[in-house]
Amino acid sequence: MRAGFMGADRIGRERRLTRGLGVAGLAGIALFVGAAILALSLAASGNGAPAGAGATSGMADAALFDRYVWRVTRFTLVQAGLSTLLSVAFAVPVALALARRRTFAGRIWIVRLMALPLGLPALVAALGIVGIWGRQGVVNDLFALADLDRPIAIYGLAGILVAHVFFNMPLAVRLLLSGLERIPGEYWLVSANLGMSRLQLFRYIEWPVIRGLLPGIAGLVFMLCATSFTLVLTLGGGPAASTLEVAIYQALRFDFDPPRAIALSALQIAVTALLLLVLRWLTPPVTEALTTGRPVRRFDGGSPLSVLTDAVIVALAALFVAAPLASVLVAGLASDLPKLAADTQVHQAVLTSLGIAAVSAGLAVTLAVAMLTTRQILLSPRRPGRFAHVFSGGVAAGTSLILLVPPVVIGAGWFLLLRPFGDVARFAPAVITLINTLMALPFVTRVLAPAMATHAARTERLTTSLGIRGWARIRRVDGPGLRRPLLMALSFAAALSLGDLGAVALFGSQDMVTLPFLLYSRMGSYRTTDAAGLALLLGLVCVVLTILGTAGESRERAA
Amino acid sequence: MTSQTPPAEPTPIAVRLEQVMVRFPAHPAPRTLLFDAAIESGKITAIAGASGSGKSTLLNLIAGFETPDAGRISIFGRPATDVPPALRPVSVIFQEHNLFAHLDIATNVGLGISPSLKLTPDDRARIERALDDVGLAGFERRLPPTLSGGERQRVALARALVRRRPLLLLDEPFAALDPALRHEMGDLLAALQKKEASTILLVTHHADDVRRLADRVLFLDDGKVALDEAAETFLKRTGPEAVVRFLGARSQAS
């Protein structure tokens, strides 16, 4: 697969093959996304008036259309802003408390709990959140006991916010905590020697770290919430609470209004492009001092009041995250699992989902390896050519293209492109697989790029000078050296694909059912016990895959 | 701060450790450190020994970062075993990260006068003077990352100066510096010690530091005080083995 800095003649053929694969992969990505965008823009120019109606009512429709688009855009940004604010505001005290208490029993489990939502399919989480916060949920049951008439209405903005906080507060906690744990151990000793109070510790030590991390974290959370599809679809509860992504889906799937879908897609791309720019601008370069590895010992937080507040804060956060998970588990176990196990539609969905997940994960990892290796080969001469730089930039852009052009937009483009060729459901498996591949690429490259760079630095010269190549090299050197990151990337990509509803929502039909799609349609037809059982199944598979995918990460960090 | 100044009749002993025991349950293997020592005031005492011999633990005990499992510590004649770090008459300087990287130099020094940074004009003058003393006049508004390693250590020294604590603990303060800077810092330290007549405890694994700076040496071996003697005597030693290794390895290196 990989070639060396030296002895290029002997392994020239291998290099050319790898390079061909890498270039072809990148071109394929560009083609796939480009075709979707082209299809959207062609359809747009062919259709004239935005609402696609007769010329007489065109003006009135346009005004109506504008108002609708404006409302959807505003809601998208407002809910993302509120979600970010709540997630971060909740995460800061939790991270501070966890950083202060380094050794209580169960701490590691709480930190692990904070990693769980990351792997949970949005649809499963939505079900769990309804189980806790919904009309018949636990919280309203408690209010009912106090003779209050079930005051919490989950569908709408409230539900979206709860769900976004459920996903993003733990993410923010983990990012903040790892920042706080990088504070040099000497700081705590120096501050103890200087006699700093709780407030002064916060002001001089903790806050500067948090302030440095906040823009990046807030930007990331905002981006995730602004492009959130499944949660808004399931918990939004109607057109009043619709984001751009959901509006695109509704325009195609229900109203069959391609011009509107196109306009919304353009707007979506503009919004995400702007967000990505702001995010890049907000995220400061890492200027972290190397610590001497002095074990951290803290002398603050000894008072009973401080211990009590920290305990309450951490317990609340743990409860907030664990409750929906427990709800999924309890409801799932109470459902008629044997009946589900005998359901042929479930079998079909499991097979389809597994097939799509396996192919898209394999494809994502192969593409990433080919492109990263090619980049490495091209950049290895002392003075890399112009093409090398163009390709290198292309890889960076190509692997994160899905962040700019969301799955629903690509799906919409291919939906329009394939419609003339008959029932779009026929092409669904291929399109969904490719979209899932693209969705996995940013994560897969983030796992593989540093691992491959380290591996190359360790082995490249040696294997080249020993003349180890071809199959022997894969089996003896690259395979063992990169096994863990490769498995991590594979399981992460598979989990992502298994839990995805965005791509399948547009294309799904009676004949094309994945597990999330089946779960969504059973929820929609009020077969709630079926939905609970499916959610448990899907949640378990994805969480296990994610744990496999991130296990190596924490172990490496510990080493 | 009156409680931290030494009593009017200065005891010749700055720090006394009596049967001070620290147990480390299961590092690689369980270890017990046992210290018995008396450190004279007004002098520079080097705490020397191989790595893992307990040098930093001894320093942490005196600074209050470590609590003994048994035994007593007194500083300038006052019991200090259970006194929190901030209330001990002690300033500490580590190998690095003594300064808060996001606060400017004047603020970092000012924290030594008041952690709430309520500084009077008189305090500000003291900060300026201290920076001048360590050769960093005019550095007030600079940030630590823009300074060299040696300059940062001198800022830490300036902060110790404005704190006016009679006992200064240094944990390998020159270890991250190159030889020329080590010498420069050492000279500065010696000059300041003469001027302030303070007591300095210097943890080091360099025989060179002992040679240039120390009046006395506490040599630690395997968690115990193996030798407690004048620096001259120590430097002439031809045994035991651990001391020869300490002296030999370093004099060849320098």
Split at pLDDT 50, 70, 90, the class of A5 is: very low
Helix or strand run (H / E) with residue B13: strand B13-24
Distance, CA of A372 to CA of A2 (rounded, Å): 10
Whether A51 is in a domain gets the answer: no
For A336-358, b/e burial (b = at least 16 CB within 10 A) is ebeebeebeebebbbebbbebbb
Distance, CA of B4 to CA of A546 (rounded, Å): 56
Q: What is the pLDDT of residue A336?
A: 83
Six-digit token pair at B158? 């300036």
Classify residue A526 as exposed, middle or buried by CB count within 10 Å of its CB (0-12, 13-18, 19+).
exposed
Name the class of domain B2-89+168-253. Answer: alpha beta
Q: What is the pLDDT of residue B252?
A: 45
* DSSP string over A421-442: GS-GGGGHHHHHHHHHHHHHHH
A82 and A192 share a domain? yes
- The alpha carbon of A42 is separated from its chain's Cα centroid by a whole number of angstroms, namely 30
Strands B224-230 and B216-221, by their bridges, are antiparallel
A341 and A322 share a domain? no
A153 and A286 share a domain? yes
Q: Which residues of B touch A190 (CB under 8 A)?
A: 92, 94, 97-98, 100
Six-digit token pair at A553? 């990460």
- Say if the Cβ atoms of B97 and A204 lie within 8 Å: no
- ipTM of the shown complex: 0.78
Q: Which ranges in A146-289 belong to alpha helices (H)?
A: 157-181, 185-194, 198-201, 207-226, 230-235, 244-253, 258-282
* DSSP string over A56-99: TTHHHHHHHHHHHHHHHHHHHHHHHHHHHHHHHHHHHHHHHHHH
A294 and A410 share a domain? no
Name the closest residue on chain A to residue B168, using Cα atoms: A193
A262 and A277 share a domain? yes
- Provide the number of CB pairs (under 8 Å) joining chain A to chain B: 67
Distance, CA of A526 to CA of B198 (rounded, Å): 81
B35: helix, coil or strand? strand
Of A205, A289, A292, which has the smallest distance from its Cβ to B95's Cβ?
A: A292
Given A330, A361, A378, the domain boundary residue is: A330
A201 and A127 share a domain? yes
* Least Cα separation, residue B155 to chain A (angstroms): 13
A460 and A317 share a domain? no
Question: What CATH number is given to the structural domain containing A454?
Answer: 1.10.3720.10
Given A286, A315, A330, the domain boundary residue is: A330
- Which of the residue ranges A155-164, A295-304, A320-329, B161-170 would you say has the lowest mean pLDDT? A295-304
Q: Which residues contact B45 (CB under 8 A, 6 or more apart)?
A: B39, B199, B200, B201, B202, B214, B215, B216, B217, B218
| A10 against B131, higher pLDDT | B131
A30 and A129 share a domain? no
Q: Which residues of A touch B111 (CB under 8 A)?
A: 194, 196, 204
- Say if the Cβ atoms of A194 and B103 lie within 8 Å: no
Helix or strand run (H / E) with residue B27: none
- Mean of the pLDDT values across residues A221-227? 89
Whether A525 is in a domain gets the answer: yes
Q: What is the pLDDT of residue A282?
A: 72
* Least Cα separation, residue A110 to chain B (angstroms): 26
Split at pLDDT 50, 70, 90, the class of A525 is: confident
- Say if the Cβ atoms of B100 and A208 lie within 8 Å: yes
Of B65, B87, B101, which has the smallest distance from its Cβ to A189's Cβ?
A: B65
Split at pLDDT 50, 70, 90, the class of A215 is: confident
- Model pLDDT for residues A47-95, shown as the tens digit of each residue: 544 444 444 445 556 667 778 888 888 999 999 999 999 999 999 999 9
Which residues on neighbouring strands pair with residue B202, listed in sequence order? B46, B170
* pLDDT at A559 exceeding the cut of 70: no
Phi-psi region of A466 (alpha: psi -120 to 50; beta: other; left: phi over 0): alpha
- Say if the Cβ atoms of B145 and A287 lie within 8 Å: yes
Phi-psi region of B49 (alpha: psi -120 to 50; beta: other; left: phi over 0): left
Distance, CA of A203 to CA of A208 (rounded, Å): 7
Number of domain units in chain A: 2
- Model pLDDT for residues A441-458, shown as the tens digit of each residue: 888 888 888 888 888 877
Whether A282 is in a domain gets the answer: yes
* DSSP string over A443-487: HHHHHHHHHHHHHHHHHHHHHHHHT--HHHHIIIIIHHHHHHHHH
Question: Whose CA is closest to A114, among A166, A182, A181?
Answer: A166
- Say if the Cβ atoms of B100 and A187 lie within 8 Å: yes
Name the closest residue on chain B to residue A296, using Cα atoms: B65
Q: What is the pLDDT of residue A173?
A: 93
A347 and A316 share a domain? no
Question: Is the distance from CB of A187 to CB of B100 less than 8 angstroms?
Answer: yes
Mutate to test the interface with A, among B51, B94, B165 (most CBs of A within 10 A): B94
A36 and A76 share a domain? no
- Say if the Cβ atoms of B116 and A190 lie within 8 Å: no
Q: What is the pLDDT of residue A290?
A: 46
* Least Cα separation, residue A208 to chain B (angstroms): 7
A469 and A494 share a domain? yes
Six-digit token pair at A223? 């981006």
Question: Is the distance from CB of A281 to CB of A109 less than 8 angstroms?
Answer: no
A27 and A66 share a domain? no
Name the closest residue on chain A to residue B162, using Cα atoms: A194
Six-digit token pair at A44? 């747009």
* Least Cα separation, residue A292 to chain B (angstroms): 8
Distance, CA of B179 to CA of A409 (rounded, Å): 62
Q: Which residues of A touch B101 (CB under 8 A)?
A: 289
* pLDDT at A289 exceeding the cut of 80: no
- Mean of the pLDDT values across residues A158-179? 92
Residue A164 belongs to what domain range? 62-330
Question: Whose CA is closest to A515, among A120, A123, A229, A10?
Answer: A123
Distance, CA of A456 to CA of A434 (rounded, Å): 29
Six-digit token pair at A435? 């979209």
Which A-chain residues 196-235 have CB contacts (< 8 A) with chain B? 196-197, 200, 204-205, 208
* pLDDT at A239 exceeding the cut of 90: no
- Say if the Cβ atoms of A192 and B98 lie within 8 Å: no
Mutate to test the interface with B, among A182, A188, A194 (most CBs of B within 10 A): A194
Distance, CA of A150 to CA of A136 (rounded, Å): 8
Question: Is the distance from CB of B154 to CB of B128 less than 8 angstroms?
Answer: no
Distance, CA of B92 to CA of A194 (rounded, Å): 9
Given A304, A330, A356, the domain boundary residue is: A330
Q: What is the pLDDT of residue A49?
A: 41
pLDDT tens for chain B, 254 residues long, are: 444 555 545 558 899 999 999 888 766 677 889 999 999 998 999 999 888 888 888 999 999 888 899 999 999 989 988 888 888 999 999 888 888 888 899 999 999 888 888 889 999 999 999 999 888 999 989 999 899 888 999 999 999 989 888 999 999 888 878 888 888 888 888 888 888 888 999 998 888 889 989 999 999 988 899 999 999 999 988 878 888 888 875 444 44
Six-digit token pair at A266? 């353009």
- Mean of the pLDDT values across residues A304-316? 93
From start to end of B112-250, where are the E strands? 167-171, 199-203, 216-221, 224-230
Determine contact: A189 vs chain B, CB below 8 A: yes
- Say if the Cβ atoms of A195 and B86 lie within 8 Å: yes
Q: Tokens 């079998």 label which residue?
A: A347
Q: Tokens 């969705």 label which residue?
A: A439
Name the closest residue on chain A to residue B171, using Cα atoms: A186
Split at pLDDT 50, 70, 90, the class of A364 is: very high
Distance, CA of A324 to CA of A475 (rounded, Å): 44
Six-digit token pair at B248? 């030999």
Question: pTM for this structure?
Answer: 0.80
- Model pLDDT for residues A246-271, shown as the tens digit of each residue: 988 888 888 878 778 888 888 888 88
State the DSSP code for B43.
S
Q: What is the pLDDT of residue A524?
A: 80
Q: Which residues of A touch B145 (CB under 8 A)?
A: 287, 289
